[in-house]
């Protein structure tokens, strides 16, 4: 008889976990509160415009391809993507612009030409990022930090000898100020802290590993949009026999004699041999695990930043904009102080604009663009968001007008807003934090929940709020680390 597994939540990690378990021979059932799969990796369609609702950067595509391979299928038959020639366009208000070319030498020369930063410094920084990845990824990304064999294997022992070179004792900003001569180059590389909702002036320099993914390995774009990651894996899981129950909110994880035995949905109980929680760890303990022992130290950790996103249908094309665009704040440190210390939004925020219609033309009507316009904001602590959003919208439009020399307001023909309160309600992310606990101290990696429960047998965890962290590649890795533990 097949072993049964129940997955709570159909975020990308939950879908990946269901695929891996089905391949192992489990009978898998997924319960999802929403009426659609994907969690944050969803889509919005408005009057002829299509938007990827959440994560917009795609790296490490092999993490997706591996899931098709496990199922004995050719990934190219189900999921296509392309490598980006330019990872991002960067803009400053003094008129400086940088194209972050996927070719490292071209990018280094661009930074030297446009910002006056010696190309050698950029190459050295990316070589350093590759070094970090080589020594940290096997330890922090591909294995559980909560099992002894992670810490006593030969690879881990080699890494211990290099701790001084791995950025454990410096901040991202501190390290970047040592690597680069120009303030704008430091700012460009500091922005990678936002990839997991952290502050570059507090987060450890180990996070300088992130540029390696974007430059040394590459940034990519799924040809049908980011939402195709969700849908292609969702269809794959269904082909393996995984069953989904949408609009079914789990009320409780059933525990008997310190062993997870099933879930309660409304008044009905469902039983299984293995229970997987893909819901945000904090909210899971507050709701579906409220009767169980609470990991108070983990629950009380400061949370990552959140986001304020305007989905704008723009009835004009801007040839200077690409898929990924960053309009930098004049005072980056002040921006992060507002987010993490004051819980407010800085008057001159850094604006990120993602435009998939640059590559996928049918995402917007002809002659138009679909702007996913985002700024980093604090997580929800009961601020007056209605007032803050109105003010932020005004400041964002003013900044875009200054940088692109345009008048944006008349060009916005449709608008939808996603902010910390709605992020929390739609994705069960505690306080609307996008990445669970923040990474604003050197011990952050160890302050994430394990991929298993040490108190409740047969209960496992995956997703952005547990080890190894948020973002699509790490969510997929969390599913792999977790399912490798399950027999």
Mean pLDDT of 426-444: 85
Judged by DSSP in three states, 318 sits in coil
The domains found in the chain, sorted by start residue, are 4-35+246-301+436-485 (3.50.50.60), 42-102+218-223+305-434 (3.90.660.20), 109-215 (no CATH)
Mean pLDDT of 301-309: 94
Per residue in 24-66, pLDDT (tens digit) is 999 999 999 999 999 999 999 999 999 999 999 999 999 999 9
Predicted local distance difference test score (pLDDT) of residue 81: 98
Ranking 214-218, 304-308, 443-447 by mean pLDDT, the lowest is 443-447
More confident residue, 148 or 125: 125
Count of other CB atoms within 10 angstroms of residue 382: 8
Is residue 370 predicted with pLDDT exceeding 60?
A: yes
Predicted local distance difference test score (pLDDT) of residue 411: 98
Which residues, including other chains, have CB under 8 Å from residue 440's CB and lie 6 or more apart? 198, 199, 202, 203, 302, 340
Mean pLDDT of 64-90: 97
Percent of the chain with pLDDT over 90: 83
> What pLDDT band is residue 141 in, cutting at 50, 70 and 90?
low
Predicted local distance difference test score (pLDDT) of residue 152: 55
Report which of 306, 298, 268 is spatially closest to residue 282, judged by C-alpha positions: 298
> What pLDDT band is residue 298 in, cutting at 50, 70 and 90?
confident
Per residue in 442-456, pLDDT (tens digit) is 666 556 788 999 999
CB burial string 59-94: b at 16+ within 10 A, e below: bbbebbbbbbebbebebeebbebeebebbbbbbbee
Mean pLDDT of 191-210: 93
Helices (H), 375-446: 385-404, 420-427
> What pLDDT band is residue 436 in, cutting at 50, 70 and 90?
confident
Predicted local distance difference test score (pLDDT) of residue 163: 52
Torsion of CA 403, 408, 413, 419, to 10 degrees: 60
CB of 357 closer than 8 Å to CB of 371: no
Predicted local distance difference test score (pLDDT) of residue 450: 87
Percent of the chain with pLDDT over 70: 92
Predicted local distance difference test score (pLDDT) of residue 263: 98
The tokens for 172 are 């991202």
Is residue 157 predicted with pLDDT exceeding 90?
A: no
Mean pLDDT of 168-179: 91
Mean pLDDT of 307-325: 98
**What average pLDDT does the chain have?**
93
Helices (H), 88-146: 104-115, 119-136
Which residues, including other chains, have CB under 8 Å from residue 270's CB and lie 6 or more apart? 6, 29, 31, 262, 263, 264
Predicted local distance difference test score (pLDDT) of residue 469: 79
Is residue 432 predicted with pLDDT exceeding 60?
A: yes
> What pLDDT band is residue 188 in, cutting at 50, 70 and 90?
very high
Is residue 78 predicted with pLDDT exceeding 60?
A: yes
CB of 367 closer than 8 Å to CB of 315: yes
Beta strands 459-461 and 274-277, pairing class: parallel
Ranking 15-24, 83-92, 150-159, 294-303 by mean pLDDT, the lowest is 150-159
Predicted local distance difference test score (pLDDT) of residue 125: 97
Torsion of CA 229, 235, 236, 238, to 10 degrees: 140
CB of 475 closer than 8 Å to CB of 174: no
> What pLDDT band is residue 147 in, cutting at 50, 70 and 90?
low
Q: Output DSSP code: residue 29.
A: E
The tokens for 320 are 């200077």
Phi/psi region, residue 263 (left: phi>0; alpha: psi -120 to 50; beta: rest), is: beta
Is residue 178 predicted with pLDDT exceeding 80?
A: yes
Is residue 110 predicted with pLDDT exceeding 60?
A: yes
């Amino acid at each position: 008889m097949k072993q049964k597994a129940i997955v709570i939540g159909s975020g990308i990690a939950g879908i990946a976990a269901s695929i891996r378990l089905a391949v192992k021979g489990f009978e898998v059932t997924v319960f999802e509160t929403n009426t659609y799969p994907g969690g944050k990796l969803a889509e919005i369609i408005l009057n002829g415009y299509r938007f990827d609702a959440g994560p917009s950067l795609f790296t490490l595509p092999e993490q997706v391809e591996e899931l098709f391979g496990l199922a004995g299928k050719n990934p190219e038959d189900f999921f296509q993507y392309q490598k980006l020639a330019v990872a991002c366009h960067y803009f400053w208000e003094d008129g400086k612009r940088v194209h972050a070319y996927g070719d490292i030498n071209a990018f280094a020369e661009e930074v030297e030409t446009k910002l006056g930063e010696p190309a050698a410094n950029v190459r050295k920084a990316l070589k350093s990022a590759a070094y970090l990845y080589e020594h940290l990824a096997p330890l922090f990304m591909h294995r559980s930090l909560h099992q002894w064999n992670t810490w006593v294997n030969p690879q881990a022992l080699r890494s211990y000898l290099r701790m001084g070179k791995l950025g454990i004792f410096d901040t991202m900003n501190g390290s970047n100020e040592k690597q680069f001569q120009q303030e704008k180059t430091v700012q460009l590389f500091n922005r990678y802290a936002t990839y997991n909702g952290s502050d570059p002036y507090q987060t450890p320099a180990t996070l300088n590993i992130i540029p390696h993914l974007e430059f040394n390995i590459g940034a990519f774009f799924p040809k049908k949009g980011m939402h195709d990651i969700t849908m292609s894996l969702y269809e794959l899981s269904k082909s393996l026999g995984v069953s989904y129950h949408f609009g079914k909110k789990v009320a409780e994880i059933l525990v008997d004699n310190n062993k997870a035995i099933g879930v309660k949905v409304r008044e009905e109980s469902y039983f299984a041999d293995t229970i997987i929680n893909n819901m945000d760890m904090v909210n899971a303990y507050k709701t579906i695990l409220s009767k169980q022992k609470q990991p108070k130290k983990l629950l009380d950790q400061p949370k990552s930043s959140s986001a304020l996103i305007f989905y704008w249908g723009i009835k004009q094309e801007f040839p200077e904009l690409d898929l990924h665009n960053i309009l930098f704040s004049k005072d980056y440190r002040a921006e992060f102080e507002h987010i993490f210390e004051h819980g407010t939004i800085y008057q001159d925020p850094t604006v990120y604009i993602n435009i998939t219609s640059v590559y996928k033309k049918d995402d917007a009507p002809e002659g138009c663009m679909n702007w996913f316009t985002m700024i980093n904001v604090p997580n929800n602590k009961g601020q007056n968001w209605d007032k803050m959003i109105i003010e932020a919208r005004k400041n964002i439009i003013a900044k875009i007008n200054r940088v692109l020399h345009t008048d944006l307001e008349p060009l916005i023909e449709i608008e939808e807003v996603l902010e910390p309160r709605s992020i929390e309600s739609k994705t069960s992310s505690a306080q609307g934090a996008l990445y669970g606990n923040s990474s604003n101290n050197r011990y952050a990696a160890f302050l994430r929940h394990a991929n298993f429960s040490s108190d409740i047998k047969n209960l496992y965890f995956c997703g952005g709020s547990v080890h190894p962290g948020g973002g699509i590649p790490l969510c997929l890795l969390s599913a792999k680390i977790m399912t490798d533990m399950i027999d």
